[in-house]
Chain A
């Protein structure tokens, strides 16, 4: 089998596998149109818990424990708090994922979509996930600096607020257009 025939074979097998995956029900991954009128989905932002996490990561606690307690206790507390940091980072990623999905809803509901903008966002999202995974692995073995985490949280929060405003506006307009469509439908007029 020549190289090109081998490529054709692999592409066909890959397409068949992809087809099965793509035809599958997206389940929980799906962002249904409910998302437009359910702001509570975006209400719980883990980024808001950063002060507590920062407090848990404070150096002073460990210094205090090292002075007053045993080395074993300090290690145990540090390990437990590392776990908290990892969980927090995971929650931050979830916040990011929700916002990213929200951005896709905005694109979906728009009559015109910019290919460059969408591609840039896809690339940025993928880069974020790649970096997040690398940092998460680092977190498991050590602790990332708290100030950087703080700005990361701030950024997710600000983005969430801006997007929520846009989404409520979008929701109002969608409701308005649905009302209009149903009125036209009742009158027997075909909406474009």
Chain B
């Protein structure tokens, strides 16, 4: 435990307390039934905290790799928990859900290629690069979903919005801290590590606080209109709209050209 700075220990303790409160809320309000993966994710985080406490107390020789190993498991569950929240937010609209999946898949493939190229040959910072790459991918996916939600004017319960917003906020803070600290403290791990730990744990604690506020009440009953069983109207109307919009654009272009010629 001596390996951790006292400020880090305090913020860590705060984060653990908030996670415990959130875990209790999920159970007592019955939200764990609708958010089972998020509940598992919080439970895993608590287990990870206990595991890290054990690791830091014993001061094992390969502390770093063991700590990062446990992080990989929680990151996988983080992605699954976010997917669960997105699925619930878009549940009544399977068409938009399908569109979102395809869009995210395309963006993810492009980003993964970029991250792989960026990480190759940068072995001293490989773990941090991978961590940042993951969070970049994750934040992009959530932002894309939010853009879709806004574009199609989908009404999403505040609790789901805050859950997704919290995930995205944390990922953005991790990207920022990794980037800023890597550029400022390059080659100075001793000074770098406590600051990195403090910043990321504090951001995580803030997210837990927001989630606790969001889940203090039971999740609302989903009273939104559901998508229709048939896509006949979409198939009939969409091409008409597209052709009309195209013609409208051509007309506007013609006005523009006429104006340009007349001057």
Contact = CB atoms under 8 A, between A and B. Distances in A.
Interface in A1-49: 1-2, 4-5, 8-9, 11-13, 15-16, 18-19, 22-23, 26, 29-33, 36
Q: Among the interface residues A107, A115, A152, which one has the most CB atoms of the partner chain B within 10 A? A: A107
A152 B168 CA distance: 43
Interface string B176-201: 10111011000000000000000000
B17 interface: no
Interface stretch (A50-58, A59-67, A70-78, A158-166): A158-166
A110 B155 contact: no
B256 A32 contact: no
Contact of B94 (A11, A23, A111, A138): A111
A111 B102 contact: no
Interface string A161-192: 01100100110011001100100000000010
Contacts of A100: 245
Nearest to A125: B245
Contact of B256 (A22, A108, A134): A134
Contact of B254 (A127, A132, A148, A166): A148
| Chain A interface main SS type | helix
A110 B161 CA distance: 23
Interface in A88-138: 96, 99-101, 103-115, 117-118, 120-122, 124-125, 127-128, 131-132, 134-135, 138
A134 to B, nearest CB: 6
B244 to A, nearest CB: 5
A86 interface: no
A138 B256 contact: yes
B91 to A, nearest CB: 10
Contact of A33 (B224, B228, B238, B241): B224
Contacts, number: 206
Contacts of B226: 177, 181, 191
B179 to A, nearest CB: 4
B63 interface: no
Nearest to A13: B176
Contact of A131 (B175, B233, B252): B252
A18 B259 contact: no
B228 A166 contact: no
Interface size class of A (residues with CB under 8 A): 35 or more
B168 A5 contact: no
A33 B225 contact: yes
Interface string B106-147: 000000000000100000000000001000100110010011
Given A108-B96, A111-B94, A155-B244, A16 B179 contact: no
Contacts of A169: 233
Given A1-B183, A33-B155, A36-B225, A12 B231 contact: no
A6 to B, nearest CB: 8
Interface string B90-106: 00011110110011000
A158 B244 contact: yes
A165 B245 CA distance: 18
A104 to B, nearest CB: 5
Contacts of B247: 155
B24 interface: no
| Most chain A CB within a 10 A radius of its CB, from B180, B236, B258, B259 | B259
B225 A120 contact: no
Closest 5 CB pairs of A and B: A110-B234, A113-B95, A22-B146, A31-B153, A124-B245
24 contacts: A5-B183, A16-B169, A18-B146, A19-B143, A19-B146, A19-B165, A19-B169, A30-B155, A106-B234, A109-B233, A111-B227, A111-B230, A117-B242, A124-B246, A131-B252, A145-B255, A148-B255, A152-B248, A152-B252, A159-B240, A163-B237, A173-B228, A177-B225, A177-B229
